[in-house]
Structure 1
Amino acid sequence: MERNNYPRLHNAAWPGVVGKGAPDSEPIIGLDTLLELTAGAEHEGQKFDGIDLWLADPHISIDSSQDDIKRVSDHIASYGLTVGSFVAPIWGGAGGGSAMGDDAEVARFLSQVEKACRIGRWMRDIGIRPSGGVRIDSSVGVGPWDADPEGNTRRIAETFRAAGKIAQDHGEFLVAEGEICWGGMHSWRENVKLLEMVGMPGVVGYQADMAHSMLFVLGANAEKDRLLPADFDWSDKAALDAAYKKVADALRPWTMDFHVAQNDGTTFGSGDHEKTGRHCQIDDPNGRLDVTKHAGYWLRDSSGNLTKKMRHICWDGCMFPNAVMERQDTWNKVLGAMVAVRDAHGWRE
């Protein structure tokens, strides 16, 4: 019997950049190194199909010309890989601004979204990008948001709505990745509230990362939305399953992009990245998730039927040490986990 071939399996380029490059952190890992490791990974004859990209220097400049994008697309294709979702550099330190900031900040945020959507359209026209959205967040911490939760969420929603119209004009869609470090997106309830307020289903949706979303059950930065007690006994698998399913059930209708990941129930930050849900290696003995089973909470509906909404899924391993990321065996194991998810929750075309 032939194995499932959908959703396609992608690696991510941004773990080579996120939490790296600052004076007190490890150096950035170049795109070519990540392409080589991704293309070199193999598990039971299976390979990665593609890679999701970081649209910022030193990988791919958000200000790239159409000729630049043609060259980098040809380069990625030479590794036998396609392209999926993007991370748009919407943060202030990368040329953007807060989604709840003043008009100038919001204008910079929207400009970065427009540039990313333009690159997305170019790559679709080239034929290297058959699926994927443009990832955004609120680009502001929980502290500033907490000064006026209602007003600030409305402002973020206005910005996301304007960004969604830009995406529509380019034939793109946006995926907002909720993490405990992003104001207005730091709990499962706040994410649902924000997306409902934006009101653009199918255009502005959610990017579910298994590690980040798992922290929502602990109420990190959002005590009122905690689903498990502070002294939770992790051996109680049924309670974890119920809490995690509640989060997934609330956010699944909005989910348009999905990251397979592992988490040990703690937070972690590196370089200039705020603390958020820790990404663990797939075989970490302290990992709290049953990755294959819990991936099904996102890839199947509440009745257990496949949603088939995601044409590709991606691995996210942000803030792993470079010594881990630069070992081929790391990516062979990751690919093995991705194949297991696809075997359990995929389909064949």
Structure 2
Amino acid sequence: MANNFPKLHNAAWPGIVGKGGESEPIIPLDTLLRLTADAEVDGVRFDGIDLFITDPHVSIDSDQDAVKRMADHIAGYGLKVGSFVAPIWGGAGGGSAMGSADDRKRFVEQVRKACAIGRQMRELGIRPTGGIRIDSSVGVEAWDRDPEGNTRLIARTFSEAADIAEDHGEFLVAEGEICWGGMHSWREMVKLLELVDRPGVVGFQADMAHSMLYTLGYNAEQDRILPKDFDWSDQATLDAAYRTVADALRPWTMDFHVAQNDGTVFGSGDHEKTGRHCQVTDPNGKLDITRHAGYWLRDGDGTLTRRMRHICWDGCMFPNAVMEDQKTWNAVLGAMIKVRDAHGWRED
């Protein structure tokens, strides 16, 4: 019989990240829920959706009645809920993880609110799996003014947030993107996680696209693995570089995003430049999605870790015309199924 784990999720945050203001309009959560629920490939559908806990999708200040209504609403689409993105940035009510005492207090408070919603959704039975995504909420340039001191301060903030998460039965996942100070290179990401030193409570969220940018040394030339004049047809060298990153961060990985990347950076709206997600079918995509997903879902010996109970597709900053086309999500679902067929397992 076909594998039924890990569960296959779509992401809601691409409807918000890089949208609004002078860029394209925010895509309503209901639109994303409908597109996710309607995707189908050979009778297989998405199992769930991962959420951005911020307006206008799901308010971080939702009370218990509002959370219950949202859970019932999502269940009406036949979907479960997985990981959350907590709005820990200054413009969203949080603050820099290496900022003032007040900044850091607001950061931790946003984590607390997200964890409370997460726990309630678990108790309601709609959220069987998933962590709370965080980042340092600060750019690389500001971090670089005092790398050692700022990384220590970020680690302290993450540790305080970890106490909150553990009290709620939650775990935190730090997504390595080249735009976040102290998390912008694979070596700095490992250093930060080791400083926090809360295995099982604070881990890494591996996004295939963002993680590939680590090999190119964007914002961290000293940690570049691939040469500047890299020939993308040299598959063996790419594989070795990507495996170096995966081997370093896999022991910390607790959440996983399937994605494709064309090897460039891109920013939209108020989001800083980071790895460009591209469509499954993009001829410029540099990753073999199915094979490279195995670098994260299997250990160095090729054995399934079975650590991720669900995996999620991430297509941040896709144009709205792409995101609102049902064909996009059928293609994404097809790619996700191939990943599960190759690196999943069966539970009855």
TM-score (structure 2 length as normaliser): 0.99
Secondary structure class of the residue paired with 1:208: strand
Aligned to 2:127: 129
Find runs of 4+ consecutive structure 1 residues off by over 4 angstroms: none
Residue identity over aligned pairs, in percent, reads: 77
Secondary structure class of the residue paired with 2:277: coil
Aligned to 2:346: 348
Write the deviation string for residues 224-254 of structure 1: whole angstroms up to 9, x where unpaired.
0000011100000000000000000000000
Looking at structure 2, the residues matched to 185 and 27 of structure 1 have their Cα atoms a distance apart, in angstroms, of 29
Matches within 5 A, 1:22-171: 22-23=21-22, 25-171=23-169
Structure 2 residues not aligned, in runs of 5+? none
Aligned to 1:16: 15
Matches within 5 A, 1:311-326: 311-326=309-324
Secondary structure class of the residue paired with 1:108: helix
Q: Which amino acid aligns with 1:233?
A: D
Aligned to 1:267: 265
Looking at structure 1, the residues matched to 212 and 226 of structure 2 have their Cα atoms a distance apart, in angstroms, of 11
Looking at structure 2, the residues matched to 245 and 284 of structure 1 have their Cα atoms a distance apart, in angstroms, of 23
Aligned to 2:286: 288
Looking at structure 2, the residues matched to 191 and 5 of structure 1 have their Cα atoms a distance apart, in angstroms, of 32
Aligned to 2:216: 218
Looking at structure 1, the residues matched to 41 and 212 of structure 2 have their Cα atoms a distance apart, in angstroms, of 27
Secondary structure class of the residue paired with 1:218: coil
Q: Which amino acid aligns with 2:11?
A: A
Write the deviation string for residues 165-205 of structure 1: whole angstroms up to 9, x where unpaired.
10000000000001000000000000000000000000000
Looking at structure 1, the residues matched to 276 and 43 of structure 2 have their Cα atoms a distance apart, in angstroms, of 30
Give 1:33 shift: 0.2
Matches within 5 A, 1:238-257: 238-257=236-255
Q: Which amino acid aligns with 1:332?
A: N
Query: Which residue, 280, 302, 305 being the options, matches 2:300?
Result: 302
Q: Which amino acid aligns with 1:22?
A: G
Aligned to 2:3: 4
Looking at structure 2, the residues matched to 197 and 100 of structure 1 have their Cα atoms a distance apart, in angstroms, of 14
Give 1:325 shift: 0.2
Q: Which amino acid aligns with 1:247?
A: V
Looking at structure 1, the residues matched to 311 and 42 of structure 2 have their Cα atoms a distance apart, in angstroms, of 19
Give 1:222 shift: 0.2
Secondary structure class of the residue paired with 2:128: coil
Secondary structure class of the residue paired with 2:204: strand
Give 1:22 shift: 1.8
Write the deviation string for residues 68-109 of structure 1: whole angstroms up to 9, x where unpaired.
000000000000000000000000000000000010000000
Looking at structure 1, the residues matched to 176 and 62 of structure 2 have their Cα atoms a distance apart, in angstroms, of 28
Secondary structure class of the residue paired with 2:215: helix
Aligned to 2:332: 334
Q: How many residues align?
A: 347
Write the deviation string for residues 123-180 of structure 1: whole angstroms up to 9, x where unpaired.
0010000000000000000000000000000000000000001000000000000100
Give 1:45 shift: 1.1
Aligned to 2:193: 195
Looking at structure 2, the residues matched to 164 and 337 of structure 1 have their Cα atoms a distance apart, in angstroms, of 33
Secondary structure class of the residue paired with 1:266: strand
RMSD: 0.3
Structure 1 residues not aligned, in runs of 5+? none
Looking at structure 1, the residues matched to 52 and 203 of structure 2 have their Cα atoms a distance apart, in angstroms, of 19
